Amino acid sequence: MEILLNVIYYVIPFIVLLGILVFVHEFGHFIIARLLGAKVVVFSIGFGKELWGRVDKYGTRWKLSAVPLGGYCQFLGDADASSSTVDESLENLSEEDKKGAFSLLAAWKKLCIVVAGPLFNYLFALLLFIALFYSFGKIVYPSVVGKVMPGEAADIAGIMEGDRILSLNGNPTPDFQALSNEVSLAETDDVMIELERPTTVHIQARETEFNQNNVAKTEKIIGLVFDADNIEKKTEAPQSGIKVKNVVMNSAAEEAGFQVGDVIEKINDVEIGNVVDFIEFVRAHIDEELEITYARPMSVAVTLKDTDFEQEDGRKVKRRMLGVQSSFKVDFMHHMDLCEAIKAGYDEVSDLTITTLRGLGQMITGKRGGKDVGGIIRIAEMSGDISKAGGLISFIYFMGLLSVNLGLINLLPIPVLDGGSIIIFLVEMIIGKDLQPKIKESIFKIGMFIILVIMLLATWNDITHLISRWFD
């Protein structure tokens, strides 16, 4: 029974997930090739022995193969599925058939066909995210600390419950997912965090001496000074609080502990969007005690720690963490209209791409080890865990995430990958002729070696990860 459940939870979701992403990628190559006049001989999902196949009216054989770990489009005139070598029988084709041979196409056409695969992965991810956000909205956990774990990095650094974390090492953290990404991508354990600390004080205006335009005055005031340029802007768009420019000496505000740079957010639980709102509210309640909530910008040096992290299935893993939990408050962007969903989808794809590129850059420059490189086994594990948790929305989101990664990785300038072919075709466009077959063959051999090294590293990481999962 356990074996059957594992098949249901891990094998089937993995095959479905990878099959859809491979189909999308290869269909991008296929449809652009057909539009540009190239003949596709084989469209295969999987490698190895054919399990099912049929030939369409254009002569393309569509098939499912035994090993569901990828797929390919084989074009007329290709000696193999990778399109890296030319079939020797190409010269025997008729002049009409040669028009559909991939290797004889103009370089710009070959470039468009190769780019189409990764591009379709990006478009597919974008459509998935738009559909998710339009249908269900977007749940955002603000980067507000709900709980500080005792003895962990944040606790040692003095971060407190209620603090809003604005950035880590200068990189914005608008929500908890962004904060988690930045912790993971930090090049060292020593990081600098910018935050705002909310504080609530009770204060009442009192007679105070102050200078205004070099004229001494005595008035009943609180004693907060704001930017004069904003005083008369009654029509300006609401802001997230107003910043204190100065604090009057010997005033109620100074006694309450206000400092330059504090951001006023609420008075008597009423949100304040601009300076005019603040002034009018105070004047209307000049003889009353006011409850003012403000946020104080702070810089905190933190040394991150490896911490036991309990996953949804109850297993504990070591992970570098800040040691905070999000607050229970959720910004739930529900009922997005189509324009909002499109923007949110584009932002999601953009953020995933930037985060992945930063991680790859750190690995290439040696600032991050190769232990985070995962392969097919890791994908199967993650898709299975999501499936087991019963989250269809999470599964669809994971599919979008993987689609972005598949598209981006295929754009890397490594021979055998689409990115390597893009470089070759750009060079051919510049020099005005095809590269010599022997040169191409050597380039692809180098690319194959690089891919094999990466695959071995990923497989080793996957196996050690599984062993750790089973025995820890």
* 421 pLDDT above the threshold of 70: yes
Going from the C-alpha of 283 to that of each of 244, 252, 265, 286, the distances in angstroms are: 18, 15, 17, 5
| Domain covering 205-288 in this structure, CATH number | 2.30.42
How far does Cα 375 stand from its chain's mean position? 19
Rank 28-37, 86-95, 413-422 by mean pLDDT and report only the highest.
Answer: 28-37
Average pLDDT over residues 366-394: 62
Q: Map out the domains of the chain as residue ranges.
A: 122-137+336-472, 205-288
Lowest mean pLDDT among 84-88, 357-361, 410-414: 84-88
Give the CB-side neighbour count of residue 45, counting CA atoms within 13 A.
19
Q: Which residues contact 229 (CB under 8 A, 6 or more apart)?
A: none
How far does Cα 223 stand from its chain's mean position? 44
**Per residue in 125-164, pLDDT tens?**
999 999 988 888 777 778 888 888 898 899 999 999 889 8
Report whether 175 contacts 347 (CB < 8 A): no
**Of 426, 412, 403, residue with least CA distance to 454:** 412
pTM > 0.75: yes or no: no
* 1 pLDDT above the threshold of 70: no
Q: How many CB atoms lie within 10 A of CB 431?
A: 10
* 237 pLDDT above the threshold of 90: no
Q: Which residues contact 257 (CB under 8 A, 6 or more apart)?
A: 199, 201
* 379 pLDDT above the threshold of 70: no
Percent pLDDT > 90 in the chain is 22
Confidence grade of residue 5 (pLDDT, cut at 50, 70, 90):
low
Report whether 163 contacts 196 (CB < 8 A): yes
In this structure, the chain runs to a length of 472
User: What was the pLDDT predicted at 99?
Assistant: 79
Average pLDDT over residues 208-235: 76
**Per residue in 327-350, pLDDT tens?**
655 555 667 788 988 998 999 899
* 359 pLDDT above the threshold of 90: no
Confidence grade of residue 236 (pLDDT, cut at 50, 70, 90):
very low
